[in-house]
């Protein structure tokens, strides 16, 4: 959960900055330039999120946040990294973790393998990196 929060701060900071810029200009009637800057910052966040959560995690098992916390995502069967495609499907499965007040993200707190619902569906584990 801490890795996800750290990743969120890193990946979505540009979009948040853009949102604040747009809000700050709305009281003065708005600005086309600020809207364009906000759009660019939102696209930066999107690209950074896709790179971090799909490609980086798929090839190394770690997002930026997981790397800082020294944990790693692997396949349960063989301990290998998932690859971008399987990591993408796992990210889609995280929508189930959000159901019922995000209880799926809390599930690792009492699960013996510390798995979210997405991890159970995809047969993945988050382990300590070596």
CA 84/CA 69 separation, integer angstroms: 21
User: Quick check: 90 and 44 in contact, CB under 8 A?
Assistant: no
What integer pLDDT is reported at residue 30 of this predicted model?
A: 67
> Half-sphere exposure (CA, 13 Å, Cβ side) for 125?
13
What dihedral do alpha carbons 3, 69, 75, 117 form, nearest 10°?
-30
What integer pLDDT is reported at residue 82 of this predicted model?
A: 96
Residue ranges, the chain, pLDDT below 70: 27-30
CA 69/CA 9 separation, integer angstroms: 15
Domain extent listing, the chain: 2-128
What integer pLDDT is reported at residue 40 of this predicted model?
A: 93
pTM: 0.86
What integer pLDDT is reported at residue 56 of this predicted model?
A: 98
* pLDDT tens for each residue of 68-96: 999 999 999 999 999 999 999 999 998 98
Tokens linked to 123: 């047969």
């Amino acid at each position: 959960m801490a890795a996800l929060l750290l990743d969120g701060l890193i990946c979505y900071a540009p979009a948040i900055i853009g949102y604040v810029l747009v809000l700050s200009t709305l009281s003065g009637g708005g600005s086309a330039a600020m809207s364009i800057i906000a759009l660019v910052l939102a696209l930066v966040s999107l690209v950074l999120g896709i790179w971090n959560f799909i490609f980086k995690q798929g090839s190394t098992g770690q997002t930026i946040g997981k790397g800082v916390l020294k944990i790693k995502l692997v396949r349960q069967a063989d301990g290998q990294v998932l690859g971008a495609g399987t990591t993408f499907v796992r990210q889609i499965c995280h929508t189930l973790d959000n159901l019922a007040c995000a209880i799926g993200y809390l599930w690792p707190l009492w699960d013996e393998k510390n798995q979210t619902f997405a991890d159970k569906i995809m047969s993945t584990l988050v382990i300590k990196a070596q």
